[in-house]
Structure 1
Amino acid sequence: MRTLLTGASGFLGGAVQARLLADNAGELRAVFRRLPASLPKGVAGFAVPDLAIDRDWRELLDDVNVVVHCAARVHVMDEKSADPLAEFRKVNVDGTLNLARQAAAAGVKRFIFISSIKVNGEGTGRGKPYKADDVPAPVDPYGISKLEAEQGLLALAAESGMEVVILRPVLVYGPGVKANFRSVMSWLSKGIPLPLGSIRNKRSLVALDNLVDLIVTCIDHTAAANQVFLVSDGEDLSTTELLRRMGAALGKPARLLPVPEAWLDGAACLLGKGAIAQRLCGSLQVDIEKTRRLLGWTPPVTVDDALRKTARHFQEHR
């Protein structure tokens, strides 16, 4: 088995690389933006600074069986481009399909694409989770670009015979997580009181180890071909529950003030922070029944074990 992994320097790609090496899963070609000073034994590293539409991938794809495509222009909170959708399309659509077309021409058997739950939408009613075969309803440029990439990949699969597997993860957390998740851990570790003690939403999350396990499962599972799968930990939490369990993992009981949700929503809207209020108070749930049924897959890591591992890394590297 010879695998080409893109995005190997990223949060997810680095974890996929480590897992494939631990599993002795054959030859691994890993694509980095910049080559690290050293590479683990068994990894052939390649520096590819961007996913340009005219990039020639033929050398890297020679005799490759599977492509795991983690590289992407990711969702950003402080977008500065005058035309964000065009920027997302350059990488997530054009760059992805350029790689995929060359992979199909090179005889690659399977192309695993890491998409996003944002293809489904931005939020659900509580107890009304997204399903893998729901009609997509992306809202922001990132989600739109991921959907367009999915559509192009599935069309290519039908034309070429190369199998495509699409995974749509929810928020991913784990050792080394950054952005809002890391900020919240920092606040909790400092004992800062948070006005989030009365949130009754439900949100799906996925531990890094669980997502990586599903990716590895999809490398050679026959039932995965040309399917779309949602992925989560299989346990949905309210924001309040998550903070309490995160605090327990840190050994710092969460100091949560029972401020009514309506007050938080109103204050956030007045401050122009409605999107933040949606993530804190709104629900976003996914149904992974299709993933379980077709692949016989169950998340191997519990939420509490994953939070403890995440907290331990945070405490060791802050």
Structure 2
Amino acid sequence: MSLKRNILVTGGTGFIGSALVKRLVVRPDLQVLAWVRRSDVDLPAGVTPVLPSFNRIFAVGSAAGRVDTVVHCAARVHVMNETASDPLSEFRKVNVELTLDLARAAVAAGATRFIFLSTIKVHGECSGAGAPFTACDIPRPADPYALSKLEAEEQVRALASETGLELVVIRVPLVYGPGVKGNFRSMMRWLVAGVPLPLGGLNNRRSLVALDNLVDLIDVCIDHPVAANRTLLVSDCEDLSTSALLQRLAGALGRRARLLSIPERWIAKTARIFGQEHAYQRLVGNLQVDASETCELLGWAPPVGVDEALGKTAEHYLKKDGP
């Protein structure tokens, strides 16, 4: 009987990481290790917690002994009310320095593959109309978070070329699913409360990815030989305007979206007045992702449709936070 392979998931209790360990723990060929901050966290049966060392470096070898594959989900993400005097430095500490430390420790522990969750925002905040981002586009990160993720990609890629580690980079757009927070959760709150939203006239296009679809792709990338040393883009392969998303999300919540058709230039002016230009771009700008190369290379397709995924997201929200 062959030995199980050890796979380490960082951010094992986070939004993506927790869903991933639940998916992987049922695989009979894997022993799942979850990097967590405390040993008393609630993990699925069969998942082994791995703690960081005292100096916050990911101590892979001390707890895991041997690691075959690492899936790096942990990161310092967008901070809406940033208080750091030097945000880029803070993002680099976690997203670049600790990522590189983890990759080095993984190599020392015998890892042969490192799957790194990056962000589609390394390409910029907005894509051109009808011109979705592709993996070969020149990166143009527009904020400290995106820049730190791009720098991490580059440094781990350099390490991989030196050591033979197989690097798989997955650039991820907005992820939604049960337990989602941030702007997506705010949209559900607005829709449930019946708040009129001035977004009914938008004809933009944005790519998203359901949590189930992202986890499925990561699972495929653990074994697929063609994924090695690739940069992959992912999405649900169905782009939506903000108004269409709100309408379909409202339907999943059992509500009617109260959308007002306000000229986009008025929305932009209001956003500038209140210093919300970034929020405006996230709502009304185009951000399309061409995931066709990923699908063709790996023989992969999103297993869950948008409406099914929205239904799961809405059901969880109503149970946990709804009226």
Provide the TM-score with structure 2 as the length reference: 0.95
Q: Deviations over 1:59-108 (max 9, x none)?
A: 23522110011111111111110001111111110100011012112221
Of the three residues 222, 225, 234, the one matched with 1:231 is: 234
Mapped contact 1:69–1:113 kept (Cα < 8 A): yes
1:56 positional shift:
3.7
Give 1:229 deviation, angstroms.
0.5
Q: Give how far 1:23 is off.
A: 3.4
* Deviates most, 12-21 or 27-36: 27-36
> Residue 259 of structure 1: which of 240, 262, 265 is its match?
262
After superposition, the C-alpha distances for 1:193-232 in whole angstroms (9 at most, x for unaligned) are 1111101100000000000001000001000001100111
State the alpha-carbon separation in 2 of the partners of residues 305 and 25 from structure 1.
Answer: 29
Structure 1, residues 151-182: CA drift from partner, whole Å, max 9, x if none?
01111111000101000110000000011111
The residue number in structure 2 matching 1:42 is 46
User: Which residue of 25, 30, 33 maps to 1:21?
Assistant: 25
Specify which of 156, 159, 162 is matched with residue 159 of structure 2: 156
Contact 1:201 1:283 in 2 (8 A): yes
Counterpart contact for 2:247–2:257, Cα < 8 Å: yes
Q: 1:41: how far off? A: 2.0
Amino acid paired to 1:165: V
In structure 1, what is the Cα distance between the partners aligned to 2:28 and 2:79? 35
What secondary structure is seen at the aligned counterpart in 2 of 1:115? strand
Residue matched to 2:72: 69
1:36 CA displacement = 3.7
- 1:1-318 alignment, distance < 5 Å: 1-48=5-52, 52=56, 54-318=57-321
Provide the C-alpha distance between the structure 2 equivalents of 1:12 and 1:76, rounded to a whole number of angstroms: 18
CA contact (8 A) 1:9 1:33 kept: no
Q: Is the 8 A contact 2:33 2:64 kept in 1?
A: no
**Contact conserved, 2:58 with 2:105, CA < 8 A, in 1?**
no
* Residue identity in the other structure for 2:52: V
Distance 1:51 1:164, change over 3 A: farther
Alignment length, in residue pairs? 317
Deviations 1:123-176 (A, max 9, x none): 111111000111111011111110010001111111000101000110000000
Q: SS in structure 2 opposite 1:206?
A: strand
Q: Which amino acid aligns with 1:90?
A: K
Q: Secondary structure at the match of 1:229?
A: strand
Structure 1: give runs of 5+ residues left out of the alignment: none
Moved more, 54-63 or 102-111: 54-63
Output the CA distance in 2 between the equivalents of 1:278 and 1:108: 40
Letter of the 2:318 counterpart: Q
- Structure 2 unmatched runs, 5+: none
CA contact (8 A) 2:61 2:108 kept: no
CA distance in 1, matches of 2:77, 2:172: 13
Distance 2:65 2:275 in 1: 51
| Deviation (angstroms), 1:192 | 1.3
| Contact kept in structure 2, 1:85 and 1:142, CA below 8 Å | yes
| Identity across matched positions, percent | 54
Q: Distance in 2 between matches of 1:114 and 1:93?
A: 12
State the shift of 1:39 in Å: 3.4
Distance of 1:298 and 1:51 partners within structure 2:
41
AA of the residue aligned to 2:221: C
Closer/same/farther in 2, CA of residues 180 and 254 from structure 1, 3 Å limit: same
Give, as a single letter, the amino acid of the residue that structure 1 aligns with 2:96. Answer: V
Across the aligned residues of Structure 1 and Structure 2, the Cα RMSD in angstroms comes to 1.5
CA distance in 2, matches of 1:200, 1:87: 36
Residues 183, 11 of structure 1: CA spacing in aligned structure 2 closer, same or farther, 3 A cutoff? same
